Structures are given as C-alpha cells and as structure tokens.
A = this chain, B = another copy of it.
Amino acid sequence: MQPNNPIAPARITSGMDVDDLVCALDGCGFGAGRLAQACDIYEEMLNDDSATKFFGLAGAMVPAGMRNIVSGLIRDGHIDVLVSTGANLVHDILESLGLPHYKGSEIVDDNALHREEIDRIYDVYVPDLHFAHLEEHLLRVFPDMDDHISIREMLFEIGKSLTDPDSILRASYECNVPIFCPAIQDSMIGLHAWLYRQTNPLNVDVFADFNEFIDLYFDSERSGALLIGGGVPKNFILQGMLLTSKGFDYAIQLTTDRPESGGLSGATLNEAKSWGKVSKDAKSVTVYSDATITLPILVAAVRSRLLSV
C-alpha cells in the first residue's frame, strides 16, 4: 500500500500536440490521470488483433457534432460492433441528407422556439422541417427492404441508401460493421417504420439479429468496449457477455453519469466485474467528464500513437 508513483505535475507547452498533452497528464490524479489511462488502454485494445471492439453510443453525440469521429473509427477498423440509441442514427441520417443541426442556446424561450418550429437539444437546434425530409427518405428506402427483416439489416439498408462518406450508417454499410439498436421503436426511424407498415408488409422481429450479435461474443478470442454514456447501448454490450464464460478484457467509459443514483448508466466498471461482464483482470477505467471533450482527445491521442508505430 506504500505509494511509490509520485504525481508528476503537468507541463504545458505551446504547440504541443494532443498526444503530448495526454502524456503530460499521465502523471496527474483525478480526471486528468484517468483520461491518460483511458488512452493507454484504448491504444492497447486497438493494437490487440485478437480483440473484438464494441462501441456503445448513447447521449446526443451526433447532434453535438461527434459523428465524423464515430464514422472515422468505423472506417479505420477501430469499431467491429456498434450499439447505438436510435436517436443518434436518426440525426446521422439528417446530417447525411445535408440537413444540418445548428448552434443555439440553452437559455431560450422554448415556447417561442416551438412556434418557430425549431426543436432544441440543449444548445443545439434542429428545424422541425428536417424530420419531414427524413420521412421522405425513409419512405423511399422501406420498400426495398425484405418483408421480414432484422433491426440490424434495416439499418444496413438505410446505410446503403446514403452517400455521405461521413455518415455513421454509410460507413457501417461500406465496412460491413453491424449496428445494433435494440430500442429502434424508440426513435423516429421506428415511428416511420411503424407508419409505413400500416399499409405495407414490414415485419421486424425483436430477436432476428440476436444470434448474429451473440455470435460476436462467442467468436471473439478477446474483447474490448468503449462506452460513450450509458443507457441501452452500455447495458446491451455488457449483457451479451453474460451468455459466455468470458468477460471484457478492455473497458473504457466516458460519461457524466454517477454511481450514486444506482442506475446501470452510472455503474462503475468494477460493479460489472461482480457480474462477470468485465473480466477480473481487465484493463478498465471510467473518465467522469463530458464525452464531447474526452472522446475527441482520446481519438486524437491514440490515432497519433497508432500512426507513429
């Protein structure tokens, strides 16, 4: 228990690159030290060719401007399996169709926004009209789908219909990286699919893509998870491991959710070890901080390291 690893105060120099900064934080405590540790673990996880890489995407990361980072990770082969909320995929389609989000303010009269038909996501605005264009696009895509289709396949078809190379759905389609979205009903994709099937055949079985999902765990020699926020993506990624006798070998959480409220979103990765979802010797760390700040740093730092090899 005797400490032997002195805190090395960070030195900041002009022009330092992001990885230099992360290395400068490596000797620090609190969030700084955890972020540096997350970069080390992520680098090791990406370099481990035997590890299947899971990525959990919750929170409004796409509206906040994080989609190019995610699609870039897919294209670079750093994501083997993506589990997302429906909302992030809906907003990815909007951006892919050239329908941007806008910078706004969280201090605003929301009734006035409603009158102007602008929807707010904290300090990001979306014109409500965008969703009409979303509907038009989906109504063009649905008819090409099989009558019986899984959620994963449905998202694959939507990805095929898009052309924007920065699209998460498109990158996933091109790179054959499966996207799972257990609560697809809980999104505008789901709303429009339901409206469409009022008059057209479209049967989406809840469990149709589950074999494929579970096989990813069984077929993995080792595995790692990068979890952005909590919610269904985190739970679903961790839960799948319960069917195996294995646990994640690498696990990183970037979140602002806290353990004290007891929900799974804020649960520590140690808690996940009690369940066997994360292996007892796993390399794991949680960085409690805004993921729109920490994810770009993590990706910039680790990308530099991988290239410099």
CA of A256 to CA of B87 in the docked complex: distance in angstroms? Answer: 21
Question: Which has the most chain B C-beta neighbours within 10 Å: A24, A30, A31?
Answer: A30
Q: Residues 85-115 of chain A: 1 if any B CB is under 8 Å from the residue's CB, otherwise 0?
A: 0010000000100001111101110111110
Knowing A64-B29, A185-B210 touch, does A256 contact B261 (C-beta < 8 A)? yes
Q: Which residue of B lies closest to A101 (CB)?
A: B7
Q: How far is the CB of A279 from chain B (nearest CB, A)?
A: 9
Q: How far is the CB of A18 from chain B (nearest CB, A)?
A: 5
The answer to whether A82 has its CB under 8 Å from any CB of chain B is: no
| B113 with A263: CB separation less than 8 A | no
Knowing A65-B27, A125-B3, A263-B59 touch, does A111 contact B292 (C-beta < 8 A)? no
Q: How far is the CB of A15 from chain B (nearest CB, A)?
A: 5
| A122 with B262: CB separation less than 8 A | yes
Q: Residues 7-36 of chain A: 1 if any B CB is under 8 Å from the residue's CB, otherwise 0?
A: 111111111111111001101111111010
Residues of chain A at the chain B interface (Cβ within 8 Å) = 1-21, 24-25, 27-33, 35, 58-60, 63-69, 72, 87, 95, 100-104, 106-108, 110-114, 116, 118-125, 127-128, 151, 166, 182-188, 190-191, 193-194, 197, 202-207, 210-211, 214, 229, 231-232, 235-236, 239, 242-243, 256-265, 267, 270-276, 280, 287-294, 296-297, 299-300, 303-304, 306-307
